[in-house]
Amino acid sequence: MLSLNATHQSNSTPHNGSNVTSNYTNQFVQPPWRIALWSVAYSSVIAVAVFGNVIVIWIILAHKRMRTVTNYFLLNLAFSDASMAAFNTLINFIYAAHGDWYFGKAYCKFQNFFPVTSVFASIYSMTAIAVDRYMAIIHPLKPRLSAKVTTGVIVSIWSLAVVLAFPPCYFSDTRALPHRTICYVAWPRKEDDLFMYHIIVTVLVYVLPLVVMGITYTIVGMTLWGGEIPGNSSDNYHGQLKAKRKVVKMMIIVVVTFALCWLPYHVYFIVGGLNKSLMKWKYIQQVYLSVLWLAMSSTMYNPIIYCCLNSRFRAGFKRAFRWCPFIKVSSYDELELRSIRLHQTRQSSMYTLTRMDTTMVMVYDPAEGNCGAAGRKHSLPARKRSYVTSRQAEITASCDTGAGTQNGVAPKAEIEEFS
């Protein structure tokens, strides 16, 4: 986030641009073995975060069934995490490990700009999901967000993120010292502005959204686990309840993971701002590298969480890795990512519900008349019927021979799916 290189600023940033009399020996040089260990740690984060989040983006964009309001916000979250890992994590590590800026003034400005933007977009995407889940569960009769409104919310999030990240970008600069080059934020009032900005960022990009999510998920959790969902009285109520619990549980884990990863980072800069002598401690560089690694690692956990806790994302990851000899994509996995569609068979009294290779048939006998006591419905096999229930797809069809099958038109099927 803000000034990820601030550890070095407190020790080496010139204050007035002319009265530089300190020793310019680079105190951040580390032994090769330590650099190698940290390199492996940071490289692992970059590889998992970029690759995992790119797959999440592909799963959502390539499969129509995955294009829900919640998943569009997850798409935005995956994009910001992948961008952070690709454009900032490696540069942060190199500068933090060596204390020498190799990347020029333009990238120095970008380095102090994009992390704030990315983290703001990430946590407010999670906040938007929390509010959307709250509205869907607590106020189910109110209209959900449309695609246009969802896009507007995402654009607004990034716009506010740019505004918040503009000050450090504007004041960023580089300075060549005798033995190294530094990238720093030349605040007008030096340490006072730096500390104040850290407080503002901590409140807006950490405390405030976590409070909002804590309140919404507490209310949603009490509703899902402690009472009945408003507006639900259908036969498959328990199936719907289980599905909604899974989504909320997954998002709570995502939020808690983010909070735990970034907490030490915010504490580090607040404590450092209050007690500047800590920045001259012998092992402060190792502390900073540890705190920075934990914060950057937040970008790699979400794809793992999705894969473990969501069957559709798990099916998508299996499809992405189907080239591996030990990854098997079953017909159930294929079914998870297919949209439901109805089509009519050659017999006007038979209607089929299909998702690719799996076919489930409901048959009505026209000779039996209306669906009264004399009417008979040939039931689905128990296994297939239970699958429909488990996926929360409620299908109703009229068997009125006078209206439902006029001119060979199939009865209307109503299908309700949940994110």
Is residue 127 in some structural domain?
A: yes
**% of the chain beyond a pLDDT of 90:** 45
Averaged over 96-121, what is the pLDDT? 92
More confident residue, 87 or 375: 87
10 and 49 share one domain:
yes
Any idea which of 199-203, 323-327, 333-337 has the lowest mean pLDDT? 333-337
Residue 191, in any domain of the structure: yes
Tell me the pLDDT band of 23, cut-offs 50, 70 and 90: very low
Per-residue DSSP letter, 243? H
326 pLDDT more than 60: yes
- End-of-domain residue from the set 257, 285, 320: 320
The DSSP element (H or E) to which 360 belongs, if any, is strand 358-364
Q: Is the pLDDT of residue 194 over 50?
A: yes
> 37 or 372, which is more confident?
37
Q: Which of the residue ranges 225-229, 247-251, 336-340, 384-388 would you say has the lowest mean pLDDT? A: 384-388
Tell me the C-alpha distance between 165 and 112, whole Å: 8
Q: Strand pairing of 181-185 and 172-176?
A: antiparallel
Residues 6+ apart with CB under 8 A from 55: 303, 316, 317, 320
Q: Looking at the structure, do residues 311 and 349 belong to the same domain, yes or no? A: no
Number of independent structural domains in the chain: 2
pLDDT value, residue 229: 57
Same domain, 229 and 306: yes
Distance in angstroms (rounded) separating the CA atoms of residues 224 and 231: 13
Residue 298 and residue 393 in one domain: no
Residues 74-85: tens digit of each pLDDT: 999 999 999 999
Beta bridge partners of 350: 363
pTM of the prediction?
0.74
Q: What is the CATH number of the domain that holds 126?
A: 1.20.1070.10
Residues 300 and 366 both lie in one domain: no
Residues 60 and 158 in one domain: yes
Tell whether 335 is covered by a domain. Answer: no
Do 37 and 173 sit in the same domain of this protein? yes
Q: What is the pLDDT of residues 58-71, one digit of tens each?
A: 999 998 889 888 89
As a whole number of Å, the end-to-end CA separation of the chain is 31
Q: What is the pLDDT of residues 145-173, one digit of tens each?
A: 888 999 999 999 999 999 999 999 999 99
Is the same domain home to 72 and 167? Answer: yes
Asked if 107 and 203 sit in the same domain, the reply is yes
Q: Is residue 416 a part of any domain in this protein?
A: no
Q: Can you list the pairs that 211-214 forms with residues at least 24 positions away whose Cβ atoms lie under 8 Å?
A: 212/127, 212/130, 212/131, 213/126, 213/127, 213/130, 213/255
Clarify whether residues 355 and 311 are in a common domain.
no
348 and 313 in one domain?
no
Q: Is residue 327 part of a domain?
A: no
The answer to the question of residue 76 being in a domain is yes
Q: What is the pLDDT of residues 290-316, one digit of tens each?
A: 999 999 999 999 999 999 999 899 999
Q: Is residue 331 part of a domain?
A: no
Say yes or no: 37 and 119 in one domain: yes
Q: Is the pLDDT of residue 53 over 50?
A: yes
Instruction: Quote the CA–CA distance of 377 and 25 in Å, as a whole number.
Output: 86
pLDDT, greater one: 301 or 387:
301
Measured between alpha carbons, how far is 316 from 282 in angstroms, rounded to an integer? Answer: 47
Helices (H) and strands (E) in the chain, counts: 13, 6
Q: Which residue has the higher pLDDT, 51 or 225?
A: 51
Question: pLDDT digit string (tens) for 243-285?
Answer: 888 889 999 999 999 999 999 999 999 998 888 888 778 788 8
| Residue-range definition of the domain harbouring residue 157 | 6-320
235: pLDDT confidence band, cut at 50, 70 and 90? low
Looking at residue 335, its pLDDT comes to: 81
Q: Residues near 401 by Cβ (< 8 Å), separated by ≥ 6?
A: 366, 369, 370
326 domain residue, yes or no: no
* Last residue within a domain, chosen from 289, 320, 351: 320
